[in-house]
Each structure stands twice: as C-alpha cells, then as structure tokens.
C-alpha cells in the first residue's frame, strides 16, 4: 500500500512537472486527484464552466452511444465521414426536408386538436415534446407513438429513458470530471448500464420489426439497414444513430419552442408584433404554411434572440484535439477535450449590449445568423461537427411556433406569473414547465379544416 501511494505521488509530480514546461492555456488551480471538480459544486455547470478551461471525456459516448458509434460522438475517420454523408444525402437536404412537410402538417393538426380540446391550461412542454418526438420517429422509422387518445406504453418508457439520457449528458458525474484511472469510483455506472439496457431493448425491437416488414417508401431506418448491414456491428451503428437523432431532434426543438413561447408571453410587446406580422403576411383566413416562413422577418429575429438567450445546448458538444497543436501561442496537447460554453459567449457584455435582456430588435440590420458562420451566436456549433440536423430543426420549430402564435392569444394561468428560472441538464429548461391559456384568434372553421 505504501509503495502504491508513493508511486501515485510520483506520477502526479511528474505530470505536473511536464505540464509546467508547456505553455498550456490559462485556467484555475486544480487539486490533486479531483482536478477542478470542486469548482462545479453548488452552481449550474455552464456557469461554473465559464471559469474552467478543460474537461475530460463524456460518459454519454461510452454508455449511451454504444461506445462512440453514433454520428455525433464517433471520432474523425472513415466511419464518421460515411455516416455524415449518408445523413446529409438521405435526411437533411432541402429536398428531403420538404418531403417531410406532410408529416409536420399532420402533427401540427394533432397539436391544434389538443389545444382546442379543453378549457384547462395547455401543458406546453408535453405538447411541444410530443410534436417533436412524433415528427422524428415518423421520419426515422415510420412510427407515430403519441396520439390524442392512444399512447404506446413502450414509447412512454422509452421517452422517459431518453429524458434520463438527456439528464446525464452533462451531469457532473465522477466519470466526466476525473482522469480515466479514477472512473471506477463512479457509483452511477450501474445506473448508466440499466438505462442502456432499456434503450437497447427498445431500439433492437424496432430494428427487428423493420427487418420483418416491407414499405413502399423507405424510411431512414430502412436506408441505414442497407448501408450498415444487419450484422452486430451494423446494428450497433444504427441504434447509436437512432438514439442520438431522437434525443437531439426531440429535446432541442421542444426546449427552444418552450423558451420562445415563455419569452414572448413575458414580453407582450414582442407577442403583439409577431401577431401583427402574421396577420399581414398570412391573413386571418388560414393557418401558417411552410411557404410563409421565409417572409416572417420578425419571427426570425425572435428566434435568433431565443437561441442567444437560451441556446438548446448551452455547452456545445465536446471536441477533442487529434494532435498537439498551438493555438494563440498556447500548447494544446493531443487528446485535450474542449467544451465551448455557448451560453457564456451569448451573455458576454463585450459582445452584446444588455445581454440579459430579451431584445429581438438587436438583430435588425445585422448579418449575424445561427448557422455557424458568426462566432457571436453558436446555438448549433460550427465547422464540420456542427449539428447536421440544423435545417430540419429550424423548420420544425418555425412552423410550430408560427401557428401557435398566429392561431391563439396566449396568457398565463390566472393568478400566476411563472418565473424564467432555469434548470440545467444537457439543455437549460424552464425550471417550472410552462402552462398557458389559449384563446382562438381565428374562425373555428379554419381550425376544423386543419384538423380534419
């Protein structure tokens, strides 16, 4: 035991000595063994990490993405390039996104039916999440899980499991915050394995059903089965991609939509301007169509401001250096994991005037967009590893919120004024899920024509 202790101390001293001779990027002092773990205690991770420059591997990739097999988590190489090309060509082109329009329209009609179906407050998070999940599940595997009356029990369990995965993506667990030789201390590993077993069972069942049936029009799962094959390794890649796309496509779209609705309800001036624009562009005789979206300039400003204040991923997905590099005069060793704090950039008073205020007009006359070309605003990341589903996600959110705002007047539940306090998982959510009262703005026959 004494020899082991001495060896550990020697290792730490040598590691410190090596680093001290390198011009590494500046950062706070770390402690032996636990590094910077103590600096995250008692604070939201994206705010604590505003002061921390380095972070180890992510437990998500190993335990939930089939050991880094999905498009979002796999390292650079042939597998990543082939997967990216497959998704880009078969799923995320403008032509493909347009071809899914009928699905979005049907899911919108279901959402409208839920809103119009009762006098109780609308549970916005459930409404938005089901809309996003059904859209993704239909695109990926031709299945709709959440109906108006019927609910697939397996899907409910799977969706709850997805929420657990999302909760753990940036959870300050031991494995994410200590060197590899201390990960055995992570008491949550059995939980990760239980969640993974449930997700694997659900996804494998979907794959097996697809292999036994044929469809006139292939969905993306059919395409992946042809591309990756039906052996163990191929199905592993498929399951990893399905999981990542369902998580990303559901969580980010629903979260962004909820923040936007809450923000405009807290800023009636903005809500009124949006409705005035919609009345001018769309008119009062129909719901919003996808062809209207490019003409809604103020909606684009509101969406940009929502992304700035509440980016769907406050901490962008980790990047790792594949070789020793020098950046701005600093030595960055091979294997260094970089975590970009998009929230800190979006809240930087040196970049944005009055950054904590919700002001869509700040983008008037500005060329800044959300597509990764402007580093002041990075909700989807930038470069080759930026979110490949950005265009699909934007279309989904724009269509949904445009119709919600055009079709209804929105008010808080009488006697309440919900706070905008946030809670952190992989995204920042409203701590108290948004509930709202919806009053139709259009003639009832317009809604009936939409939901028939």
> Are residues 60 and 240 in contact, defined by beta-carbon separation less than 8 angstroms?
no
Is 70 exceeded by the pLDDT of residue 445? yes
Q: What percent of the chain has pLDDT over 90?
A: 49
- Element housing 27 (H / E): none
**pTM across the whole model:** 0.85
* 360-419 tens-digit pLDDT: 999 999 999 999 889 999 999 888 888 889 999 999 999 999 999 999 999 999 988 888
Is 70 exceeded by the pLDDT of residue 172? no
Mean pLDDT value across the chain: 83
Cα–Cα distance list, 121 to 148, 400, 448 (Å) = 16, 18, 21
Q: Could you tell me which residues are beta bridge partners of residue 123?
A: 435
At residue 156, the pLDDT reads 78
Query: Predicted confidence band at 339 (pLDDT cuts at 50, 70, 90)?
Result: confident
At residue 53, the pLDDT reads 37
State the SS3 of 157-219.
Answer: HHHHHHHHHHHHHCCCCHHHHCCHHHHHHCCCHHHHHHHHHHHHHHHHHHHHHHHHCCCCCCC
Tokens of residue 149, six digits? 């009356």
Query: Predicted confidence band at 329 (pLDDT cuts at 50, 70, 90)?
Result: confident
Distance CA 340, CA 46 (A): 10
Is 70 exceeded by the pLDDT of residue 287? yes
199 burial class (0-12, 13-18, 19+ CB within 10 angstroms)?
buried
The mean pLDDT of 257-285, rounded to a whole number, is 97
Helix ranges, 37-180 (H):
45-48, 59-63, 78-90, 94-99, 101-116, 124-141, 153-169, 174-177
The mean pLDDT of 279-288, rounded to a whole number, is 96
Query: Predicted confidence band at 437 (pLDDT cuts at 50, 70, 90)?
Result: very high
> Are residues 77 and 408 in contact, defined by beta-carbon separation less than 8 angstroms?
no
Query: Predicted confidence band at 350 (pLDDT cuts at 50, 70, 90)?
Result: very high
CA dihedral 82, 231, 136, 145 (to 10 degrees): 180
* 51-108 tens-digit pLDDT: 443 347 566 677 778 888 888 888 888 998 999 999 999 999 999 999 999 999 999 9
* Between 308 and 13, the higher pLDDT residue: 308
At residue 43, the pLDDT reads 54
Is 90 exceeded by the pLDDT of residue 216? no
DSSP state letter for 437: E
Distance CA 326, CA 25 (A): 10
User: What is the set of domains in the chain, with CATH numbers?
Assistant: 2-451 (1.10.630.10)
At residue 295, the pLDDT reads 97
Distance CA 63, CA 142 (A): 27
At residue 158, the pLDDT reads 78
Give the rounded distance of the alpha carbon of 154 from its chain centre. Answer: 23
Tokens of residue 368, six digits? 């800044």
At residue 30, the pLDDT reads 57
């Amino acid at each position: 035991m004494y020899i082991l202790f001495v060896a550990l101390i020697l290792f730490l001293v040598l590691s410190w000595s090596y680093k001290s001779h390198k011009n590494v990027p500046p950062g706070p002092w770390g402690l032996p063994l636990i590094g910077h773990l103590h600096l995250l205690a008692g604070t939201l991770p994206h705010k604590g990490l505003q002061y921390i420059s380095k972070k180890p591997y992510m437990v998500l990739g190993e335990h939930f993405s089939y050991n880094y097999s999905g498009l979002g988590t796999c390292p650079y190489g042939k597998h990543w390039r082939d997967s990216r090309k497959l998704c880009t060509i078969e799923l995320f082109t403008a032509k493909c996104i347009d071809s899914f329009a009928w699905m979005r329209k049907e899911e919108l009609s279901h959402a409208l039916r839920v809103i119009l179906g009762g006098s109780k407050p609308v549970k916005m998070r459930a409404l938005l999440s089901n809309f996003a999940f059904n859209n993704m599940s239909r695109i990926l595997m031709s299945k709709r899980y959440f109906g108006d009356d019927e609910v697939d029990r397996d899907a409910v369990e799977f969706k709850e499991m997805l929420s657990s995965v999302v909760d753990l993506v940036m959870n300050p667990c031991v494995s994410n915050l200590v060197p590899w030789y201390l990960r055995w201390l992570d008491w949550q590993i059995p939980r990760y394995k239980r969640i993974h077993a449930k997700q694997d069972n659900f996804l494998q069942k979907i794959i097996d059903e697809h292999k036994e049936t044929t469809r006139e029009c292939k969905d993306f799962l059919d395409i992946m089965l042809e591309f990756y094959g039906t052996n163990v390794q191929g199905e592993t890649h498929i399951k990893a991609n399905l999981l990542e796309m369902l998580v990303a496509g559901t969580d980010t779209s629903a979260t962004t939509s909820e923040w936007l609705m809450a923000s405009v309800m807290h800023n009636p001036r903005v809500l009124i301007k949006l409705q005035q624009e919609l009345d001018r562009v769309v008119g009062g005789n129909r719901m919003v169509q996808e062809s209207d979206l490019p003409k809604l300039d103020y909606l684009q400003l509101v969406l940009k401001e929502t992304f700035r204040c509440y980016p769907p991923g406050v901490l962008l997905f980790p990047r790792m250096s594949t070789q020793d590099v020098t950046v701005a005069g600093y030595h960055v060793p091979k294997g260094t994991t970089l975590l970009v704090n998009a929230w800190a950039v979006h809240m930087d008073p040196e970049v944005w005037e009055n950054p904590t205020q919700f002001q869509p007009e700040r983008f008037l006359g500005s060329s800044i967009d959300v597509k990764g070309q402007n580093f002041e605003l990075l909700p989807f990341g930038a470069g080759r590893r930026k979110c490949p589903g950005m265009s699909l996600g934007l279309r989904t959110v724009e269509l949904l919120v445009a119709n919600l705002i055009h079709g209804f007047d929105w008010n808080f539940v009488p006697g309440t004024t919900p706070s905008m306090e946030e809670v952190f998982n992989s995204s920042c959510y409203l701590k108290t899920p948004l509930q709202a009262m919806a009053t139709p703005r259009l003639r009832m026959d317009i809604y009936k024509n939409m939901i028939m």
